[in-house]
């Protein structure tokens, strides 16, 4: 059983070509053979007409263009001579017939002249058949030459006809896992339309399901936020109450748990919010990337100096990109929080905001351990925290950053910095540039 459509078509069509060739060849051979025999008969008739008025003696061979295409002229006279062959010939009627001459089968034309003398023109059957076979065989050559040509043409036509299908499969393979946009029907052969419509129907159902799921996560996170905030306030109120030492310890643990839960809810909400956004920077407002970076850095500066980390700008150029300021803030904040969490005391975090060709680049470099290469493939997956997670995190930060960067039409790259005596992670975010904001703050370093 051949699985590929291409294989089936090719084998089927080749079989038809071969069968047609074989049957056609058989008929052509038969016809050409019969024609050649008839032609040779007419030559015998013509020779007999020429010999009608001539007289010759005994049997004489005539040779044509080819040495072995012998024709015999046989003079029989008026009465049978003593030769056995001659006597036998006298018993035969005038006309074309098969006979024996000199112990070999011949095709023979017997004639009687007006004066009563007889003669015969004869040609050995073996010679005639061989000539006819030669001629007939030559009619087969063009057919035999045509068959491979037809097979090549068939293969090309099949490949050309199936190309849209192969292309469709390639397009589907190359899709991102979360890309559920409908496949276009234009330019696709009509036979594939029902198939594409089914796939598009499936995509639509999956989109609906995904949207429902996102809405559920967003709603759940939103609903949980208020009670958690209320609980946090209660825990804070407890701190003002005079409590025994052990109870105070418990309250501190409780507050920490509250803090973690709030962070998780914030991240979940951010992820759900950014996932619901349509892709593409078109229609987004303009925002200053350098300003967003400075604000985020300023927010984290106190924490950085508490932990003995030198957080600052290596380069900052005024750059405007498409995007909500909150989106840019979320990108930078998540990257800086990661860098802060993983950079050991005494380390450095360098932020860069600059233009490269026609893209705006935001770069964050730290002096932490970097990300193990086995984690790199999954690093943008929600809840993935890598093989050596540090501190308390949700594993949602980079997933959020990736969603936002994608929806702004940009790209993100993570690379480990490996050099003499240093390690670290360099995160590079590229966003399409929107123009230069003249009012953007001056170039400076150290936020
Ligand atoms: N600068 C970094 N250096 C080393 N590892 C990092 C760095 N940034 C991210 N990682 C790795 O990638 C994982 C995923 O990061 P991500 O920001 O998505 O989640 P998180 O930081 O654990 O949680 P959250 O951001 O919600 O607090 C981290 O747990 C860590 O293992
Ligand atoms: Mg993070």
pLDDT for residue 444: 37
- Residue 398 CA, ligand 2 centroid: distance in Å: 6
> Whole-angstrom Cα distance, residue 72 to residue 60?
5
| pLDDT for residue 65 is more than 60 | no
Q: Which residues, other chains included, contact 189 with Cβ-Cβ below 8 Å and sequence gap of 6+? A: 161, 164
> What residue owns the CA closest to ligand 1's atom 25?
397
> What residue owns the CA closest to ligand 1's atom 13?
385
Average pLDDT over residues 339-362: 95
Over residues 247-274, the pLDDT tens digits come to 989 999 999 999 999 999 999 888 888 8
**In terms of DSSP H, where are the helices of 243-350?**
245-275, 289-306, 325-342
Query: Which tokens is 285 given?
Result: 């407002």
How many CB atoms neighbour CB 221 within 10 A? 20
**Coil, strand or helix: which one is 320?**
strand
| pLDDT for residue 440 is more than 60 | no
Over residues 187-230, the pLDDT tens digits come to 888 988 999 999 999 999 999 998 898 889 889 988 998 999 99
Pocket of ligand 1 (CB under 6 A): 267, 334, 338-339, 342, 366, 368-371, 379, 385-386, 389, 393-399, 425
Pocket test for ligand 1, best of 397, 401, 404 (most atoms within 8 A of CB): 397
The conformation of residue 324, written as its DSSP 8-state character, comes to: -
- Residue 3 CA, ligand 2 centroid: distance in Å: 48
> Whole-angstrom Cα distance, residue 50 to residue 419?
108
Please tell me the least confidently modeled range out of 40-54, 263-277, 428-442: 428-442
> What kind and span of H or E run contains 10?
helix 5-51
Which atom of ligand 1 lies at the shortest distance from residue 392's CA?
27
Are the C-beta atoms of residues 361 and 430 closer than 8 Å to each other?
yes
- pLDDT grade for 439, boundaries at 50, 70 and 90: very low
- Residue 336 CA, ligand 2 centroid: distance in Å: 8
Are the C-beta atoms of residues 106 and 122 closer than 8 Å to each other?
yes
Choice between 157 and 101, residue whose per-residue pLDDT is larger = 157
> Whole-angstrom Cα distance, residue 414 to residue 371?
9
| pLDDT for residue 371 is more than 90 | yes
For residue 412, is it left (φ>0), alpha (ψ between -120 and 50) or beta?
beta
pLDDT for residue 275: 75
- Residue 246 CA, ligand 2 centroid: distance in Å: 32
| pLDDT for residue 442 is more than 70 | no
> What residue owns the CA closest to ligand 1's atom 7?
338
Over residues 306-329, the pLDDT tens digits come to 999 999 999 999 999 999 999 999
How far, CA to CA in Å, does 340 sit from each of 343, 366, 414, 424?
A: 5, 8, 16, 12
In order of their start, the domains of the chain are 5-144 (no CATH), 190-275 (1.10.287.130), 286-435 (3.30.565.10)
| pLDDT for residue 92 is more than 60 | yes
- pLDDT grade for 67, boundaries at 50, 70 and 90: low
Pocket test for ligand 1, best of 398, 403, 417, 427 (most atoms within 8 A of CB): 398
The conformation of residue 104, written as its DSSP 8-state character, comes to: E
Closest ligand by atom to 380 CA: 1
Pocket test for ligand 1, best of 385, 401, 424 (most atoms within 8 A of CB): 385
Pocket test for ligand 1, best of 393, 416, 426 (most atoms within 8 A of CB): 393
| pLDDT for residue 47 is more than 60 | yes
How many CB atoms neighbour CB 366 within 10 A? 27
- pLDDT grade for 436, boundaries at 50, 70 and 90: very low
Which atom of ligand 1 lies at the shortest distance from residue 395's CA?
19
> What kind and span of H or E run contains 303?
helix 289-306
- Residue 392 CA, ligand 2 centroid: distance in Å: 9
| pLDDT for residue 338 is more than 90 | yes
Arithmetic mean of pLDDT over the chain: 88
Which atom of ligand 1 lies at the shortest distance from residue 399's CA?
18
Q: Which residues, other chains included, contact 17 with Cβ-Cβ below 8 Å and sequence gap of 6+? A: 147, 150, 151, 154
pLDDT for residue 88: 81
């Amino acid at each position: 059983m051949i699985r590929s459509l291409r294989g089936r078509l090719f084998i089927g069509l080749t079989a038809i070509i071969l069968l047609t060739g074989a049957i056609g060849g058989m008929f052509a051979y038969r016809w050409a053979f019969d024609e050649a025999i008839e032609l040779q008969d007419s030559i015998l008739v013509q020779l007999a007409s020429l010999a009608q008025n001539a007289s010759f003696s005994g049997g004489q061979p005539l040779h044509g263009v080819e040495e072995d295409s012998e024709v015999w002229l046989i003079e029989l006279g008026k009465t049978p001579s003593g030769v056995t062959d001659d006597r036998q010939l006298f018993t035969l009627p005038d006309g074309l017939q098969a006979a024996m001459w000199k112990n070999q089968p011949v095709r023979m034309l017997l004639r009687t002249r007006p004066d009563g003398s007889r003669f015969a023109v004869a040609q050995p059957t073996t010679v005639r058949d061989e000539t006819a076979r030669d001629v007939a065989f030559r009619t087969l050559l063009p057919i035999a030459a045509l068959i491979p040509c037809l097979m090549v043409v068939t293969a090309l036509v099949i490949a050309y006809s199936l190309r849209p299908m192969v292309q469709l499969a390639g397009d589907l393979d190359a899709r991102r896992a979360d890309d559920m946009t409908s496949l276009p029907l234009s330019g696709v052969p009509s036979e594939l339309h029902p198939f594409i419509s089914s796939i598009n129907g499936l995509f639509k159902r999956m989109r609906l399901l995904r949207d429902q799921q996102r809405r559920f996560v967003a709603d759940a996170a939103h609903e949980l936020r208020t009670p958690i905030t209320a609980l946090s306030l209660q825990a804070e109120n407890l701190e003002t109450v005079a409590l025994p030492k052990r109870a105070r310890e418990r309250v501190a643990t409780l507050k920490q748990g509250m803090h973690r839960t709030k962070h998780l809810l914030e991240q979940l909400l951010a992820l759900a919010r950014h996932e619901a956004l349509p892709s593409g920077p078109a229609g987004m407002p303009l925002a200053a990337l350098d300003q967003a970076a400075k604000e985020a850095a300023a927010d984290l500066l106190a924490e950085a100096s508490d932990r003995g980390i030198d957080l600052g700008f290596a380069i900052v150029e005024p750059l405007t990109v498409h995007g909500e300021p909150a989106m840019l803030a979320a990108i930078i904040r998540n990257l800086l929080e990661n860098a802060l969490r993983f950079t050991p005391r005494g380390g450095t975090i360098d932020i860069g905001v600059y233009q490269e060709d026609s893209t705006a680049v935001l770069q964050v470099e730290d002096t932490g351990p970097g990300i193990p290469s086995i984690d790199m493939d999954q690093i943008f997956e929600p809840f993935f925290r890598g093989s050596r997670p540090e501190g308390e995190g949700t594993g949602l930060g980079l997933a959020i950053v990736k969603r936002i960067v994608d929806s702004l039409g940009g790209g993100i790259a993570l690379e480990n910095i490996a050099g003499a005596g240093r390690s670290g992670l360099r995160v590079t975010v590229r966003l399409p540039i929107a123009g230069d904001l003249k009012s953007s703050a001056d170039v400076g370093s150290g936020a």
